[in-house]
Copies of this chain bind each other. A is one copy, B any other.
Amino acid sequence: MHILITGAAGFLGQRLLHQLLQRQTLCDQPITHMTLVDQSQAEAPETPGISLESHAIDISAPNAFDTLLEQRPDVIFHLAAVVSAAAEADLDLGMAVNFDATRALLEGCRAHQLSETRLVMASSVAVYGGELPEVLDDMTALQPQTSYGTQKAMCELLINDYSRRELIDGRVLRLPTIVVRPGRPNAAASSFASSILREPLNQQEAICPVPRDQAMFVMSPARVIDALMHGAELSSEALGAFRALILPGITTDVTEMLEALSETAGPEAVARVRHEPDPRIASLVASWPARFTPRKAERLGFIGDQSFREILDAHLSESEPGGSAERPSR
């Protein structure tokens, strides 16, 4: 079993890598080789029985995938992407990395006749937008209101068509907002959702820019990684007529998140969250769909978090010394 990961130096890529190295199998086969691809050299810890190679390349460069695909990977996790804010700021960059590089990857698989290779791409709830119903499902139209969402939605269509034509065996998972992310706050509009938990737990202040009743659709990092691996292991028949689906996140709001924080770290932790409404962020977050009926994911055996409290507890146990998520390499 040879696995290729694009975006392997990123948050999800590193976490997926470590999980795969720990499991040592995928699709009931022993993992023997892993190819890591990112803009910068991804950390590749030595593991007995698994050979790792790490390539620092620009996936939007011509023929970037050519030599990589000659090695005929069995599973490709395609996580590399320009994030939402960057794709909005630079249309050409977003199209080149998010769309054209995905198309080049598909074309590379076609050229190397990798029709059985399973390609798992991370998509996003950002594919949804516009005049949405209160509760969305797998048959809700994609009317993205960002270039990032547009590019991901176009990739979904292309992966579906290449799969239908049996040029590749694609699977696309629409990821909810991931909480609790490790690290520091960043420019993403969703950054606060991790910040208002992570920082108070580290005795630091955090700012909540959205109203307390703002609903969000979230999933823990561990469940997302499980879903990516499950996405690779599904039979193609089970996926039916379309290769993309929404993952089973849960709907929460700021009030519930801070209640969980209070239960686990006391009211003094909650007191470290300052409520400073930011109309720009609040309106962006309000435009994201928060309620889904993820029937297809449930039918296919994807597993979501049980409650927000479970998400926070998982974060706490991972943050402890010896916990699995907070490796220095990240």
Contacts and interface: CB of A to CB of B under 8 A. Distances in A.
B161 A157 contact: no
Interface string A121-148: 0000000011111000011111111010
Contact of A165 (B91, B130, B138, B157): B91
Contacts of A144: 157, 160-161
Contact of A143 (B129, B143, B150, B160): B160
A219 to B, nearest CB: 21
Nearest to A243: B143
A187 interface: no
Classify the interface of chain A: helix, strand, loop or mixed: loop
Interface in A77-92: 91
Nearest to A143: B242
A102 to B, nearest CB: 12
A140 B136 CA distance: 11
Contacts of A132: 139
A26 interface: no
A274 interface: no
Contacts of A164: 145
Contact of A133 (B139, B153, B240): B139
A93 interface: no
Interface size class, chain A: 20 to 34
A81 to B, nearest CB: 16
Contacts of A142: 141-142, 157
A154 interface: yes
Contacts of A160: 143-144, 150
A303 interface: no
Given A150-B160, A158-B154, A161-B144, A241 B131 contact: yes
Contact of A150 (B133, B150, B157): B157
A50 to B, nearest CB: 36
Interface string A241-281: 11000000000000000000000000000000000000000
Contacts of A130: 240-242
Interface of A: 91, 129-133, 138-145, 147, 150, 153-154, 157-158, 160-161, 164-165, 240-242
